[in-house]
Structure 1
Amino acid sequence: MNAMAARLRRHELVWLSREGWLQLLAGPHDEELLACLRHWCEARLPLVIGRQQPGAPELALGLPTPIAWGRRKVALRVARSTVLYHDGFPRAGEVARLLPLALRARWAGLIDAVAACSTEPRVHGSYGWQRLTGLRYLLPGSDIDLLLSVADAQAADAVAGQLAPFAWLGPRIDGELIFPDGSAVAWREWLQWRRGAVQCVLVKRLDGVRLEQDLQWLQAGAVPA
């Protein structure tokens, strides 16, 4: 296994070698998807890490296509050795230009509030992909989907505590709290769970999802300093 590929996590972006693109383009695709893949290859655009099957020899990737190519969620597989490098989605400040001017100061304030919790928010979903590609993804009802890396449960509480009371006239703000081992929980679900409104919380991992009732899953997955 490629050592770089072994470190990949959900919602990370990967850039493929020419060999990787040749593998993908050789697949049985319809004309619309093939045109989209050719554009991605020529423009050297990234794909996103998807849910992995344990023991699978190939890397599962995703491509949410822009409006011009039907807004499809495309599942792809490629040899792990064809990953050149990987990186994260755009930082939250980088998508400000996609918001109406009247909302940008308020957006900056939210970023600062979350940053005060030692978290650098990133944006995936339609806003993230439009910022990355320059192609149209946004619709009037598009949410802003945040990726919020947190060190532990206390940090997750602090970040969710900043998001919950945030009021503005902009898009709905969704997103995930991502812990050091890569496990993730939707911030709204985390808040409900920590407040005792629900008994279980859905934890997403690279290889699947599971309902958890207590914090043992987080302690078991702690990454040594």
Structure 2
Amino acid sequence: MDQIEQFQRHDLVWLSDQAWREIFSREKQNSEGLQRWQREEWPAVVLRRDAEAGDDEVCIGFYFSQADGRQSRLFARTRVENIIEHQSSLALSTVIPVAPADWQPALRELNLEATAAGVRLRVYGALALQFLTGLNYLDTNARIDVLFRPQDYEHLVAGLTLLQRYRERMPLDGEVIFPRGQAVSWKEWLLSDSVPEPVQEQLVLVKDMYQARLLPKHLLTESLREP
């Protein structure tokens, strides 16, 4: 299980030929999409572990975009030994060139401000997939899924303040990920800030590699203060 700990939701993994053979032997749907994915050497996306995953298996997803605009997805598992490359989700600065032209100026400004504040923004979802594959994943309802990992409470506030301000200019969404890999929708976090109830009683939906559950908000902020 120690090998699994290095993988987090939204990470990218590239698969060996053996991994592809095992996936094709189990998956009979979307075979054409999978064949192209393998041929183009595009990465799979790391997902939360399901109940049937073995101690040496990583749960992954493939997201297909058709020429007619339809999209579909396929979930699979692969053994750690069959992963040949692994990296975190893409930096925001990397994907800006493939964003719609009317979003790019605001994204550049957001990235510059975040960098100056020491907040490293990353992107997953449709915009990341469009960059990785060159296919069209951005429709009229598309969101820009942004995540960041705060190092301390001040870092958290700086990141949230930036995202709150820029969401008025773009359809931003995404997560803030705490030191133990616990992820919360930053929109939900900001909404909870406006709720008139004691901080000790506030609950937020937390997702990690194993489950989704409600947790007291203060436990997450306290994790930022741990050595």
Q: Give the TM-score range, shorter chain.
A: 0.7 to 0.9
Mean alpha-carbon deviation: is it higher for 153-162 or for 176-185? 153-162
> What TM-score comes out, normalization by structure 1 length?
0.86
Per-residue displacement from partner, 1:96-126 (whole Å, max 9, x unpaired)? 2223444422221111222233221111111
> What TM-score comes out, normalization by structure 2 length?
0.86
| Structure 1: gaps (5+ residues) | none
Q: What amino acid is the match of 1:207?
A: Y
Partner of 1:19: 18
Residue 62 of structure 1, CA deviation:
1.0
Q: Distance in 1 between matches of 2:188 and 2:2?
A: 35
Mean alpha-carbon deviation: is it higher for 158-167 or for 172-181? 158-167
Q: 1:200 to 1:84 in 2, by over 3 A?
A: same
Residue 70 of structure 1, CA deviation:
3.9
Q: Distance in 2 between matches of 1:157 and 1:8?
A: 26
Partner of 2:117: 117
Partner of 2:49: 52
Partner of 2:108: 108
1:216 has 2:219 as partner: yes
SS in 2 for 1:196: coil
SS in 1 for 2:166: coil
Partner of 1:35: 32
Q: 1:65 to 1:84 in 2, by over 3 A?
A: same
Q: Distance in 2 between matches of 1:217 and 1:180?
A: 9
SS in 2 for 1:65: strand
1:173 has 2:135 as partner: no
SS in 1 for 2:42: coil
Q: What amino acid is the match of 1:29?
A: K
Q: Distance in 1 between matches of 2:52 and 2:25?
A: 24
1:202 has 2:202 as partner: no
Per-residue displacement from partner, 1:130-170 (whole Å, max 9, x unpaired)? 10111121112211111212113332222111111226554
Mean alpha-carbon deviation: is it higher for 74-83 or for 9-18? 74-83
The 8 Å contact of residues 50 and 60 in structure 1, kept in 2 or not, is answered as yes
Q: Distance in 1 between matches of 2:51 and 2:192?
A: 29
The 8 Å contact of residues 177 and 184 in structure 2, kept in 1 or not, is answered as yes
| Structure 2: gaps (5+ residues) | none
Residues matched between the structures, number: 220
